[in-house]
Amino acid sequence: MRNGGQLLVQSLIGLGATKAFGVPGESYLAVLDALHDSAGRLDYVLCRHEGGAAFMAAAWGKLTGSPGICMVTRGPGATNAAIGVHTAMQDSAPMILFVGQVATDMRGREAFQELDYRAVFGTMAKWVVEIDQVDRIPELLSRAWTVALSGRPGPVVVALPEDMLVTLTGAAPLTAPLRISEPAPDAVAVTDALALLSGAKRPLLMLGGCNWTAAGRGALQAFAEGSGLPTVAAFRYQDQFDNHSPVYAGEAGVGMPPHVKRLISQADVILAVNLRFGEMTTDGYTLLTVPQPGQTLIHVHGSEAELGKIYRPALGIQAGPNAFATALRPVTAQWADWLAGARADYLASLELGPLPSPVDMGVCTAHLRKVLPPDAIVTNGAGNFAVWPNKFLQYGGQSRLLAPQSGAMGYGVPAAIAAKVAHPDRLVLCFAGDGDFQMTGQELATARQAGAQPVILILNNGIYGTIRAHQEREYPARVSGTDMINPDFVLLARSHGFHAERVEATADFPAAFERAVQSTTGAVLELAISAEALTPRASLSAIRAAAQKAGR
């Protein structure tokens, strides 16, 4: 006999879970007690805020392809963790959030910290379930794991009433990992897709999602290169295709380069694999007409719910991305000039002139392109600073980018900690703005306790840069609510046991970065950035002047 907490933990171990990120609470004490005996098999990473814990779980799912596990208490713990659920959903990343719940005999009375989780998370997660009977833990946990991984991966929320967790049961725990194969494409559909591409004059391959295997990515790249297909990655998924490939042409995301907009809008045939066609990837749904795009669209996705959800495809194929990629064979290229122009425009987009800032991030990212190891993991949250890892770094076959499609501030630091927990021997580099860092900076304590040592760059310009940019465009010279008085980030990082320096000049960055990489404690580099250098190609003054000239 075992109680519900023990059955849950033993079943998670059987499924293959190795880490759980969380903040403790009295509503799931039986689970915490069971974790006391699971060290080395399922380790509990103690976090400082439920939002940070949920971000770590979402990043874990995106990085590893296995559901990230988050455990929080009822009520406030669950609502604090909601940001990670939303992020995992928009990222299509597998995650399971376990939340405590009031005892079953108190439900419906608005007991202390009681929430109806189906109502709270119903539109935010793929599935929400409350386990009322201890004997059903293996059944419902197996289903939660399956739902998180299958079709379009995403988050599942599992509520655990505290009386159920202490009830004894003879039910056996799950003892084997789940293997969920992808749906394979119909052979006729693949032939039809290749025929449409063969007849194109300006074809384009677009890809997204995090549920790629090495074999699937390799097969897709071989097909694209063998066919001479210009390839564009969806918003914040450029790590899923080797950026050094001669067919890679850029990322379709926030601040989309003009040449990527042209590629999408001027293409006559688009092969879209594993995309959900979000707002950022389509430039606000303007590059393809809703619902009938002018381009011939071949849409491939593992979930039938994504096919035709926004755009009517000329050919919709329900298939997993890896299964589809391995079924492809190259087509005869008739568009060499189209490809050459796309690649040349991408390479040109990496070049910048001098920026009006003590630390010039154009120069710094050019240095990082040279020195980052091929298996580096880069993370970022949200803000104008994110343009640097998203548009000015290049990702090879082994490197990864963990960045939120939800545009959630504060994601970068927890994601870096999760990545370092998963891969302690790899360099993990986090880009954070000064405002972004202060959303989850307390998780440095989590990093120290977990033995995780990322390198964090804080781009400190003293403003909420994205909002200031919008402010100056719409209400020039009327600053409201976007200036910040910041703490001493160096002292703050050192108080958490990190190596820390403030970099005041561009020329000092390479040596400071080398010291940061060599540090055994993890490192924080605070970079002095001028607010004038708000974007890579337009200063704050220029944005303001253009808005004033337009009469705003």
At 422-474, the pLDDT tens digits run: 999 999 999 999 999 999 999 999 999 999 999 999 999 999 988 998 898 99
- pLDDT by residue (tens digit) across 183-195? 999 999 999 999 9
| Residue-level pLDDT at 110 | 86
- Which band of pLDDT confidence, cut at 50, 70 and 90, is reported for residue 164? very high
Beta strands in 87-240 (DSSP E): 95-101, 127-130, 155-161, 168-169, 203-207, 231-234
- Which band of pLDDT confidence, cut at 50, 70 and 90, is reported for residue 108? confident
Q: Say what angle helices 412-422 and 50-64 make with each other, to 10 degrees.
A: 50
Nearest residue to 141 (alpha-carbon basis) of 163, 165, 120, 123: 165
- pLDDT by residue (tens digit) across 344-374? 999 999 999 999 999 999 999 999 999 999 9
Q: Which two tokens stand for residue 487?
A: 């703490």
Based on C-alpha coordinates, what's the Rg of the chain? 24
CATH no., domain 351-549: 3.40.50.970
Structural contact between residues 361 and 391, judged by C-beta atoms closer than 8 angstroms: no
- Which band of pLDDT confidence, cut at 50, 70 and 90, is reported for residue 285? very high
Task: Give dist(CA 78, CA 85) in Å, integer.
Answer: 10
- Intervals of CATH 3.40.50.1220 along the chain: 187-348
* Least confident segment among 71-75, 463-467, 525-529: 463-467
Q: Which distant-in-sequence residues (6+ apart) come within 8 Å of 401 by Cβ?
A: 236, 237, 238, 239, 377, 378, 379, 380, 389, 390, 393, 395
pTM of the prediction? 0.96
| Residue-level pLDDT at 251 | 97
Structural contact between residues 267 and 285, judged by C-beta atoms closer than 8 angstroms: no
DSSP 483: B
Other C-beta atoms lying within 10 Å of the C-beta of residue 85 = 27
- Intervals of CATH 3.40.50.970 along the chain: 2-169, 351-549
CATH no., domain 187-348: 3.40.50.1220
Backbone torsions φ then ψ of 380, nearest 5 degrees: -155, 160
Task: Give dist(CA 123, CA 276) in Å, integer.
Answer: 17
Structural contact between residues 339 and 216, judged by C-beta atoms closer than 8 angstroms: no
Task: Give dist(CA 170, CA 168) in Å, integer.
Answer: 7
Does the domain at 2-169 match CATH 3.40.50.150? Answer given as no
153-179 mean pLDDT:
96
How far, in whole angstroms, is CA 113 from its chain's centroid?
30
The per-residue DSSP string of 197-229 comes to HHT-SSEEEEE--S---HHHHHHHHHHHHHHT-
What's the Cα-to-Cα distance from 220 to each of 176, 209, 310, 332, rounded to whole Å?
A: 31, 13, 24, 16
- How many residues are given for the chain? 552
